[in-house]
Chain A
Amino acid sequence: KAGVTQTPRYLIKTRGQQVTLSCSPISGHRSVSWYQQTPGQGLQFLFEYFSETQRNKGNFPGRFSGRQFSNSRSEMNVSTLELGDSALYLCASSLDGGAGQPQHFGDGTRLSIL
């Protein structure tokens, strides 16, 4: 079975731009969660999507948004980029995000803001 696939692997943007990241979950997995990883803040939960609906949300500003398609693929969008948005963005998938279900991570998209 193919693992979680994230594209692109690397992105360089400038302040004020917007960016879209993509995540394809493991086949059969319907829950996709997104995390931001930085040296200072560690791994922080952004949001989770299940059946094309945002089910959980972390403490990030509204500039961070996402969506999920009928095939469970998910996209994350960040608008009006700031220097502090530079991070590794990871997505993880699980069967349905239920309690006790393992989440499997992709390799991440490394976003650099100049």
Chain B
Amino acid sequence: GENVEQHPSTLSVQEGDSAVIKCTYSDSASNYFPWYKQELGKRPQLIIDIRSNVGEKKDQRIAVTLNKTAKHFSLHITETQPEDSAVYFCAATVYNQGGKLIFGQGTELSVKP
């Protein structure tokens, strides 16, 4: 069945360092991969997404890469700041089921000043 594995489950970095979170999906028909940031007690917020016809996408300090052959995608955050501390979720949708997101288990990122 559809599955998304996310690693690591927790990540602690010093302010200014980079952070990388990795996800692997099982369904080769998956074609859309969003990343969400969820701060404590708040809604998940979409921070970046990538479609299967693109290998990399950047938005200021964040970037996502996709390797369709290996079925994995990664989130890269550079020059981390304390306000980046949150839980990050990767997700994948299945072809023709765009309204259905399969989520990874989440990564709790802590950025220490």
Binding site for B on A (CB under 8 A): 4, 31, 33, 35, 42-45, 48, 50, 55-56, 58, 90, 92, 94, 97-108
Using a Cβ cutoff of 8 Å, how many contacts connect chains A and B?
A: 71
A102 to B101, CA, bound (A): 10
Decide if B99 touches A48 in the complex (CB within 8 Å): yes
Question: Which of A42, A94, A98, A107: most chain B Cβ within 10 A?
Answer: A42
Decide if B43 touches A56 in the complex (CB within 8 Å): no
Residues of B within 8 Å of A108, CB to CB, are 43
Instruction: Give the nearest-CB partner of A98 in chain B.
Output: B98
Residues of B within 8 Å of A42, CB to CB, are 89, 103-106
B97 at the interface (CB under 8 A from A): yes
Interface SS, A side? strand
Question: Which of B45, B93, B105: most chain A Cβ within 10 A?
Answer: B93
Decide if A100 touches B31 in the complex (CB within 8 Å): yes
A90 to B45, CA, bound (A): 12
Residues of A within 8 Å of B97, CB to CB, are 48, 56
B61 at the interface (CB under 8 A from A): no
Decide if B51 touches A100 in the complex (CB within 8 Å): yes
Decide if A90 touches B98 in the complex (CB within 8 Å): no
Residues of B within 8 Å of A92, CB to CB, are 101
Decide if B99 touches A43 in the complex (CB within 8 Å): no
